Structure 1
Amino acid sequence: MTLYGIPNCDTVKKSRAWFAARGVDIAFHDLRRDGVDAERLTRWLHALGAARLLNRSGTTWRKLDADQQRAADDEATLIPLLLAQPTLIRRPVVEIGGAVTAGFVPDVWQTLLGDAA
Structure 2
Amino acid sequence: MDKMLTIYGIKNCNTMKKAMVWLDQHNVAYDFHDYKKLNISEETLREWAGQVDWTVLLNKAGTTFRRLPQEDKEELTQEKAISLMEQHPSLIKRPVVAQGGKILSIGFKEEEYKKLF
TM-score category (smaller protein): 0.7 to 0.9
- Given the alignment, which residue of 25, 31, 53 partners 1:27? 31
- Given the alignment, which residue of 89, 92, 96 partners 1:89? 92
Provide the C-alpha distance between the structure 2 equivalents of 1:45 and 1:28, rounded to a whole number of angstroms. 20
Q: Quick one: percent identity of the two aligned structures?
A: 34
Alignment of 1:67-106 (within 5 A): 67-70=71-74, 73-97=76-100, 98-106=102-110
Provide the C-alpha distance between the structure 1 equivalents of 2:103 and 2:64, rounded to a whole number of angstroms. 26
TM-score, with structure 1 as normaliser: 0.87
Question: Which structure's residues are more often helix, by fraction?
Answer: 1
Structure 2, unmatched stretches of 5+, are: none
How far apart are residue 101 of structure 1 and its match?
1.8
Provide the C-alpha distance between the structure 1 equivalents of 2:42 and 2:17, rounded to a whole number of angstroms. 25
- Given the alignment, which residue of 51, 55, 73 partners 1:51? 55
Provide the C-alpha distance between the structure 2 equivalents of 1:74 and 1:11, rounded to a whole number of angstroms. 26
Q: How many residues align?
A: 112
Range moving further from structure 2, 3-12 or 102-111: 102-111
TM-score, with structure 2 as normaliser: 0.87
Partner of 2:19: 15
Provide the C-alpha distance between the structure 1 equivalents of 2:91 and 2:97, rounded to a whole number of angstroms. 15
Q: Is the 8 A contact 2:96 2:103 kept in 1?
A: no
Q: Is the 8 A contact 2:94 2:106 kept in 1?
A: yes
